């Protein structure tokens, strides 16, 4: 039984170059491959383009929200492998169709894509691939400091940014990307250079005590007006707690 593969990594880890190498290896042995990519990736139009200058026209552009099963059902049985570039841009449903295709047609599908976006959040396609792919292989590149890079930092007009839409194509509208390790991502993008865990934990502890005190007071109140007022305070404290706890955990995870 053939498998669904996901080869992922930060930008500049050689994903598209490897895809072209795999296609060459199959074709050198007289086997046929199909190369697909999402139409949302406008870089190169109907071609896949590598950073070292290699390019190749794709066999099919996958449009957003397209029912991919219609195209996959039209593929003949003489195909040996399907290669998908920038697969993080696919929808959950399209990834599911690729999975069903490799099992029901018994043809391997190899997807290449990013691990996460410039905010370190998973794309819909990459999230689903992590959930159902038979084989996952991480590809590596190097950060500016020499360490292994895992994060994609967005640069707009020469400045690192952590705001904006999830999808912005590299090289368009003054947008560029740089692969960074966790430490450099914190420093360059989030501007975090020093973190006092004890201070943060004490702050959270104080807010937790205040939250419990307000909760007890609210339970004793009989006036609906006072209860409504105290509820707004509780919500505010709860939100602050949630935000600080998330930041603490998030920063530890990145480091």
Catalytically active residues, by annotation:
86
Gap between the Cα atoms of 93 and 62, Å rounded: 12
Gap between the Cα atoms of 112 and 236, Å rounded: 43
- Residue 12: which of 234, 191, 178, 240 has the closest Cα? 178
- Report the largest interatomic distance among the alpha carbons of the chain, rounded to a whole angstrom: 82
Phi, psi at residue 22, to the nearest 5°? Answer: -65, -45
41: its two tokens: 């990736």
139: its two tokens: 């590809």
Gap between the Cα atoms of 60 and 130, Å rounded: 24
In contact, 213 and 200? CB cutoff 8 Å: no
Gap between the Cα atoms of 166 and 101, Å rounded: 28
Total length of the chain: 255
């Amino acid at each position: 039984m053939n498998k669904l593969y996901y080869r992922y990594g930060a930008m500049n880890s050689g994903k598209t170059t490897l895809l072209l190498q795999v296609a060459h290896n199959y074709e050198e042995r007289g086997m046929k491959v199909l190369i697909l990519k999402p139409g949302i990736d406008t870089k190169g139009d109907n071609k896949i383009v590598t950073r070292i200058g290699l390019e190749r026209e794709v066999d099919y552009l996958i449009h957003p929200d397209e029912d991919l099963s219609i195209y996959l059902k039209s593929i003949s049985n003489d195909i040996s492998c399907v290669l998908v570039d920038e697969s993080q841009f696919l929808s959950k449903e399209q990834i599911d169709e690729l999975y069903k295709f490799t099992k029901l047609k018994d043809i391997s599908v190899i997807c290449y894509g990013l691990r996460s976006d410039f905010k370190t959040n998973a794309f819909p396609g990459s999230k689903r691939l992590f959930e159902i792919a038979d084989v996952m292989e991480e590809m590596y590149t190097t950060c500016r400091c020499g360490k292994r890079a895992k994060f994609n930092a967005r640069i707009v007009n020469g400045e690192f940014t952590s705001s904006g839409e999830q999808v912005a194509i590299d090289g368009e509208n003054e947008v560029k990307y740089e692969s960074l390790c966790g430490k450099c991502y914190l420093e360059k993008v989030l501007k975090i250079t020093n973190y006092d865990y004890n201070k943060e934990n004490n702050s959270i502890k104080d807010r937790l005590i205040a939250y419990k005190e307000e909760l007890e007071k609210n339970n004793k109140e009989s006036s609906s007006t006072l209860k409504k007022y105290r509820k707004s305070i509780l919500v505010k404290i709860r939100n602050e707690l949630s935000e600080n706890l998330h930041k603490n955990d998030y920063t530890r995870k990145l480091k």
